[in-house]
Structure 1
Amino acid sequence: MIEALTTRPAVDPAHARMRKQAEELEGVFLNTLVKEMFAGLDTEGAFGGGFAEDTWRGIQTEQIANAMAQAGGIGLADQIMSSLLQTQEHGQQSRPNPIGAYPR
């Protein structure tokens, strides 16, 4: 009985791979978002600007984006997973064709 409580259900490798890719895509999006937030800041402030500050700023934005993703992000990975799973369940045939597209 205790074994039943401690064993975890097997995770489908394809599902785990999709989840990882969805999380990576969310990380890329968050990194881009944070970079754009910092783009409006003056770089000639306390650090004097230049190459070193650009390098530091890139590292900082990456770390902020990673921290956001580890804290659950903004839910983009969950939405991507939901959409991918729904598409798999219904198959490609049930999706309407875009305007002007011909059925295969």
Structure 2
Amino acid sequence: MIPQLSAQPLSDSPPNHPALRRAAEALEASFLAEMLKATGLGKAQAAMGGQGSDEFSTFLLEAQAREIVKSGGIGLAESLYNAMAQREGQNG
């Protein structure tokens, strides 16, 4: 006898909320940018120098963090999205 697998009901899966997905990804990108900055990657190199290079480094870290999220990230955005979508489903 072959056991029957039942698909998870649609009501239990998180609904599709593009705004929540974008918010979760933005939060993961901000988190990653701060983690990258904490590693020292955001410090301007001596060859560049000046106040502008520090600001450029921040923009660079933020862009790198967004690209990390685009390529799958660390799973934080997915966890946040699932939690927010589930909460949205309970409240809405």
Instruction: Summarize deviations over 1:27-65 as a string: whole Å, max 9, x none.
Output: 111122222222685x46333x32132122112212211
Equivalent of 1:16 in 9, 15, 18: 18
Q: Identity rate of aligned residues, in percent?
A: 30
User: More relative contact order in 1 or in 2 (CA 8 Å, sep 6+)?
Assistant: 2
What are the within-5 Å matches in structure 2 for residues 1-104 of structure 1?
15-38=17-40, 41=43, 43=44, 45-47=46-48, 49-89=49-89, 91=90
Structure 2: gaps (5+ residues): 1-14
Distance 1:40 1:53, change over 3 A: closer
Distance 1:55 1:79, change over 3 A: same
Over alpha carbons, which structure has the higher Rg?
1
**TM-score of the aligned structures, taking structure 2 as reference length:** 0.63
Distance 1:44 1:80, change over 3 A: closer
**TM-score of the aligned structures, taking structure 1 as reference length:** 0.57
Structure 1: gaps (5+ residues): 1-11, 93-104
Letter in 2 for 1:73: G
Alpha-carbon RMSD across the aligned residues, in angstroms, is 2.7
